[in-house]
Amino acid sequence: MKLQNKINIRFLLVTLLVFTVAGVIFYFALDRVIDHNIKGILKSRKTNIILYLQHNKTDSILLGSPDRTIFIRQIAKTEDHSFISDTLAYDEREKELIPFRKMVFSTSVDNNYFEVTILQSLLESEDLQGIIFYFMAILFSLIFLALFFLNRWLSDKAWRPFFKSLSLLKSWKISENRQISFDQTGISEFDQLNRTLEEMIQKMQTDFVNLKEFTENASHEIQTPLAIIKSKLELLLNDNELSGLQHKQLHDAFESVIRMSKLNEALLLLSKIENRQFIEKCDIDFCMLIHSRLEYLEELFALKQIEISVQLNVPVIISIHPMLADILINNLLNNTLKHNFNHGKIIISSGINEITFSNTGKPLTIDPSKLFRRFVKNNNSEESTGLGLAIADEICRANHLRLNYTYLNDLHSFILSC
Amino acid sequence: MKILVIEDEKMLCETIISYLEGEGYRCEQAGTVEMGTEKVNLYEYDCMLVDIGLPDGNGLTLVRELKKCHPETGIIIISAKNSLDDKVLGLDLGADDYLTKPFHLSELNSRIKSLLRRRKFDGQKEIIVDKIRILPENRQVFVQDELLPITKKEFDLLLFFISNPGRVLTKESIAEHLWGDFADASDSFDFVYSHIKNLRRKLFDKTGTEYFRNVYGTGYVFE
């Protein structure tokens, strides 16, 4: 949920609660005021009637008012009583039952006893209450809506610098080596945040460049001494005066140097791909490429007696640096060969925008999600550098391709898709 | 045959020269573009090996220089950078081959030999070793005028051995020569073994001579 909405909802909920409570209190207050008012009216009418009774002869007293709100009845002496109650009465004008407040009291004038009933219509006060209620409701809704939009507008405005910074951050990639600069917002919190972000990004960028340069320089510098060691060992291996044991030991060293230089080469390649040093791209027909590589490898497959089935009928054209295309296909094909059984099977097939490399082989001993990580080897195979798939994955990532692994029906499959 | 080696890494340079001198070449060395330019202009060579990354400039300028004054000299670029652009540019400028460091000396030697064969004898030269006659251009091998049925890889293998006679060729360098980047596919040494076994049998059947010698299980020598 957006922060803005969250704040807005809370704010409006509180407003609604306040309005409701205020409304209820207002209603009761109004009720009390009206009640008081009606009581006042009734009391003054009572006083008037008493005065009227006292000033008129008993015989000439009208026993009811023309508007049928006062009824006077002569009674035998009873105790004084006076009460007020609510009642419904039929109203001629409104042609319906309407609520009345009724006051009944007894009074005596010259030993004549009267019971007087005064009816006071509540219709007007109810109407008044109704009007006030509707008015209040409309007012409250208007205030509510106004608050809602005001709040939205305000928070929109207040958060705008934040969203601007956020979108800048989202579009920023460390590998692009692009400086990022935030505008002055005039809001101290956001300015503080932006300053901190700028500093952090600068630091990250410097670290990243340093690390990148270090990896590249280190690999590059190591290459020359390795070449020297390798060639010196090769010269030594040709020395006829060596004993068998010496020869064996030299060869072990030679093997290790080769391994090391392969590893180094692979790391160097990885850092080059990561640094996006292969920018130039051209459209490459991967099916053709695979065919030509397969021809080259024919004997390797034949010696392992691997059955190859190639179904590359759908052409797959990918825009990529030619060297990376070569390496990618080499690594994937190499993988199908390296981890295969003798008398195994390899199936290479293409579909729309995807190529699948499947091969038989021992099930993985490692977690498939770690397959593309560096130096992860299945069965700890000695010859493997553990970088082949990492390189393939990195190439795919740099070229917006996807490389997925599945294991189905005893077949390891790598699906390259774009 | 005279070879100019332009490489700023002294020890590597010495090793290359020592190997090549063992092959009977006369070698000269230069460590900078300046020295290289001087030598290229003063003397004539059959082949030049040039490193791209030199302390005072790019080795490719030497390729241009050499192409101007002695276009018949063969050029092999050796570079620590496995960069396609350098490779394409180098070959475009007229270099004949491109090798990435670290390379096997036997591989370098075989490339030089093949280059010199193409340059000096228009590729038509026959290579005759004992009873074996090889036509590199036609990729054919004759034993006493009889065509030897041989696969593509077996031919490459034989030529590689013949280019490095009497040298120990390690299994690694053979595998790399035959399969390049695929050499590290597991079992490639088994493939080397099986190829050599086949080749050995074919030659032995025709000539009665054992040409290959296994060296302590680490490699083979052609004698």
Mean per-residue pLDDT for A153-158? 86
On whether the CB atoms of residues B148 and B202 are closer than 8 A, the answer is yes
Per-residue pLDDT tens digits for A71-118: 888 887 767 778 888 888 777 777 788 888 888 888 887 778 888 888
Mean per-residue pLDDT for A127-138? 87
- Whether residues A232 and A289 share a domain: the answer is no
Pairing of strands A112-121, A96-109: antiparallel
Residue A36 has pLDDT above 80, yes or no: yes
Whole-number pLDDT of residue A396: 92
CATH number at residue A364: 3.30.565.10
* Number of domains forming the structure of chain A: 3
For A93, list phi and psi in degrees, rounded to 5.
-70, -45
**Which uninterrupted H or E stretch holds A107?**
strand A96-109
Q: How confident is the model at residue A388 (pLDDT cuts 50, 70, 90)?
A: confident
On whether the CB atoms of residues A304 and A345 are closer than 8 A, the answer is no
B21: nearest CA partner in chain A: A235
Q: Which residue of B8, B21, B84 to mutate against A (max A Cβ within 10 Å)? A: B84
Chosen domain end from B89, B121, B153: B121
Q: How far apart (Å, rounded) are the C-alpha atoms in residues A209 and A111? A: 116
- Whether residues B106 and B37 share a domain: the answer is yes
- Whether residues A102 and A226 share a domain: the answer is no
Whole-number pLDDT of residue A346: 93
- Whether residues A374 and A330 share a domain: the answer is yes
Q: How far apart (Å, rounded) are the C-alpha atoms in residues B63 and B83? A: 17
B183: nearest CA partner in chain A: A334
Whole-number pLDDT of residue A146: 92
Q: If you ran DSSP here, which 8-state letter would residue A64 be given?
A: B
The CB density around residue A274, as the number of other CB atoms within 10 Å, is 15
| Token representation of residue B77 | 């670029």
- Whether residues B179 and B143 share a domain: the answer is yes
Q: How confident is the model at residue A299 (pLDDT cuts 50, 70, 90)?
A: confident
Q: What is the 3-state secondary structure (H, E, C) of chain B?
A: CEEEEECCCHHHHHHHHHHHHHCCCEEEEECCHHHHHHHHHHCCCCEEEEECEECCEECHHHHHHHHHHCCCCEEEEEECCCCHHHHHHHHHHCCCEEEECCCCHHHHHHHHHHHHHHHHHCCCCCEEECCEEEECCCCEEEECCEECCCCHHHHHHHHHHHHCCCCEEEHHHHHHHHHHHHHHCCCHHHHHHHHHHHHHHHHHHHHCCCCEEEECCCEEEEC
- Whether residues A44 and A9 share a domain: the answer is yes
- Whether residues B7 and B112 share a domain: the answer is yes
Alpha helices in A68-122 (DSSP H): none
Whole-number pLDDT of residue B3: 94
Q: How far apart (Å, rounded) are the C-alpha atoms in residues A307 and A336? A: 12
Whole-number pLDDT of residue A71: 85
Q: Which residue of A234, A323, A333 is in closest CB contact with B104? A: A234
Packing angle between helix B171-179 and helix B105-121, nearest 10 degrees?
A: 50
For B9, list phi and psi in degrees, rounded to 5.
-85, 105
What is the overall mean pLDDT for chain A? 85
Whole-number pLDDT of residue A364: 84
Confirm whether A270 is domain-assigned: yes
pLDDT above 90 as % of chain B: 27
Peptide bond into A225 cis (omega under 30): no
- Whether residues B135 and B90 share a domain: the answer is no
More confident residue, A220 or A291: A291
CATH number at residue B167: 1.10.10.10
More confident residue, A299 or A417: A417
| Token representation of residue A238 | 């040709």
Contact B102 A230 (CB under 8 A): yes
- Whether residues A241 and A292 share a domain: the answer is no
- Whether residues B201 and B163 share a domain: the answer is yes
Confirm whether A395 is domain-assigned: yes
Mean per-residue pLDDT for A344-358? 92
Chosen domain end from B90, B121, B152: B121
Q: Which residue of B11, B181, B219 is in closest CB contact with A228? A: B11
- Whether residues A69 and A200 share a domain: the answer is no
- Whether residues A83 and A197 share a domain: the answer is no
Whole-number pLDDT of residue B122: 59
Tell me which residue of B66, B68, B162, B74 sits closest to B119, measured CA to CA.
Answer: B74
- What SS3 class is residue A305? coil
Residue B179 has pLDDT above 90, yes or no: no
Whole-number pLDDT of residue A325: 92
- Whether residues A23 and A139 share a domain: the answer is yes
Residue A354 has pLDDT above 80, yes or no: yes
Contact B84 A322 (CB under 8 A): yes
- Whether residues B86 and B175 share a domain: the answer is no
Chosen domain end from A274, A290, A323: A274
Mean per-residue pLDDT for B200-222? 87
- Whether residues B62 and B112 share a domain: the answer is yes
Q: How confident is the model at residue A142 (pLDDT cuts 50, 70, 90)?
A: very high
For B53, list phi and psi in degrees, rounded to 5.
-90, 95
Whole-number pLDDT of residue A283: 92
- Whether residues B104 and B133 share a domain: the answer is no
Kindly report the nearest CA distance between residue B60 and chain A, in angstroms: 19
- Whether residues A257 and A314 share a domain: the answer is no
- Whether residues B136 and B84 share a domain: the answer is no
Q: Which residue of B12, B188, B217 is in closest CB contact with A227? A: B12
Which residues of B are less than 8 Å from A381 in CB distance? 186
- Whether residues A334 and A266 share a domain: the answer is no
Give me the domain span that covers residue A20: 3-144
- A and B: number of Cβ contacts within 8 A: 109
Chosen domain end from B64, B92, B121: B121
Per-residue pLDDT tens digits for A301-338: 887 889 999 999 899 999 998 889 988 998 899 888 88
Whole-number pLDDT of residue B219: 87
Confirm whether A174 is domain-assigned: no
Residue B121 has pLDDT above 80, yes or no: no
Whole-number pLDDT of residue A379: 64
Residue A359 has pLDDT above 90, yes or no: yes
Chosen domain end from A236, A254, A274: A274
More confident residue, A365 or B3: B3
Give me the domain span that covers residue B197: 127-222
**Which uninterrupted H or E stretch holds A5?**
helix A3-55
Sequence-distant (≥ 6) Cβ neighbours of residue A365 within 8 angstroms: A378, A379
Whole-number pLDDT of residue A92: 72
Whole-number pLDDT of residue B192: 85
Per-residue pLDDT tens digits for A170-181: 888 776 777 788
B152: nearest CA partner in chain A: A299
Whole-number pLDDT of residue B48: 94
Q: How far apart (Å, rounded) are the C-alpha atoms in residues B167 and A341? A: 34
Confirm whether A411 is domain-assigned: yes
Q: How far apart (Å, rounded) are the C-alpha atoms in residues A228 and A237? A: 14
CATH number at residue A258: 1.10.287.130
- Whether residues B8 and B104 share a domain: the answer is yes
Whole-number pLDDT of residue B182: 67
What's the gap between Cα A115 and its chain centre? Answer: 77
* Number of domains forming the structure of chain B: 2
Tell me which residue of B105, B147, B138 sits closest to B5, measured CA to CA.
Answer: B105
- Whether residues A263 and A316 share a domain: the answer is no
Confirm whether A164 is domain-assigned: no
Strand partners, B222: B212
Chosen domain end from A224, A245, A274: A274
- Whether residues A205 and A333 share a domain: the answer is no
